[in-house]
A and B are shown apart, each in its own frame.
Chain A
Amino acid sequence: MAKVMVVDDAAFMRLRACKVLQDNGHEVVQAENGADAVRQYSEHRPDAVLLDITMPEMDGIAALKEIKKLDPGARVAMVTAMGQQAIVMEALRAGAKDFVLKPFQPDRVLGALQKLLA
């Protein structure tokens, strides 16, 4: 079982990811934007992060870079709309280990988590 932080500005999408993770026995921390994610990462030190890209205040790429400054070993997967290849490549260069496409399927979320925790 892992502690996973779910970061998305859409409450519905956060809850959806949380349900999938909690139903599979994981502990979940929620953050509603990039700045919140950085604060909560510092406080909770989750084992893995599912990080939306397009968010207000601080977007996912900026949050990823801040989280990596806090913890270079942070294990982060980006959550992105289909086809945002350029942004995904930027995230991978900035240290993201994987990405999950929206609309996401439960198996894909769990698969990404497994990859992060491997």
Chain B
Amino acid sequence: MRTEFINPFLQAATEVLGSELGSVPQRGTIGLQRSAYTSDEVTAVVAVTGGVAGMVIFAMAEQTARAVVSKMLGQDFPTFDALAQSGIAEIGNVITGRAAVLLSEAGYPSDLAPPMLVLGRDTMISTLDVQRLVIPLETEFGKIEIQVALKLAAAPARRAA
């Protein structure tokens, strides 16, 4: 995992969550993991292809997910229904999309696949030999953990200095 992949995701998540939730999330300690990811109650997964390839995972408790979409839409979500699921998937999509733009500006162009959701705890998702960068963010609605498992897919078209 290249360290230059950290800032685009940190910046994108801070901007998007700050805008959507009305307060900037607090960043926890960033770490690296190699073992398989074990899902939280709600996990949005966005696949990335292109100059960098892999997946980005957004994990949170269902209570946090419902609170986030409630804040975004201005209505309560007593259950994590299809509409709420669409909202969490879109958050993952927008954050990853913003990060992809920043990665592209750094010379790593990439595209996104449509987001998917894993519902329920303890599903194991292996990123095989790709290490996962773990970015914990504390929001006023609870913790959202972003896991970035990307590797360089081809020689990047780096910009001239």
Name A residues whose Cβ lies closer than 8 Å to a Cβ of B: 9-13, 15-16, 19, 54, 56, 81-84, 102-103, 105
Partner of A81, one of B87, B89, B97: B97
A15 B94 Cβ-Cβ under 8 A: no
Would you mind naming 26 contact pairs between A and B with Cβ atoms under 8 Å apart? A9-B114, A10-B86, A10-B87, A10-B89, A10-B90, A11-B86, A12-B73, A12-B83, A12-B84, A12-B86, A12-B87, A13-B86, A15-B73, A16-B72, A19-B74, A54-B112, A56-B114, A81-B93, A81-B94, A82-B15, A82-B94, A82-B97, A83-B101, A84-B97, A84-B101, A102-B97
A103 B16 Cβ-Cβ under 8 A: yes
Partner of B98, one of A11, A16, A54, A82: A82
Using Cβ atoms and an 8 Å threshold, which residues of chain A touch B69? 12
Closest A residue to B114 by CB, please name it.
A56
Q: In whole angstroms, how far apart are the Cα atoms of A16 and B90 in the complex? A: 12
* Number of B residues, CB within 8 Å of A: 24
B101 A103 Cβ-Cβ under 8 A: no
Q: In whole angstroms, how far apart are the Cα atoms of A15 and B94 in the complex? A: 16
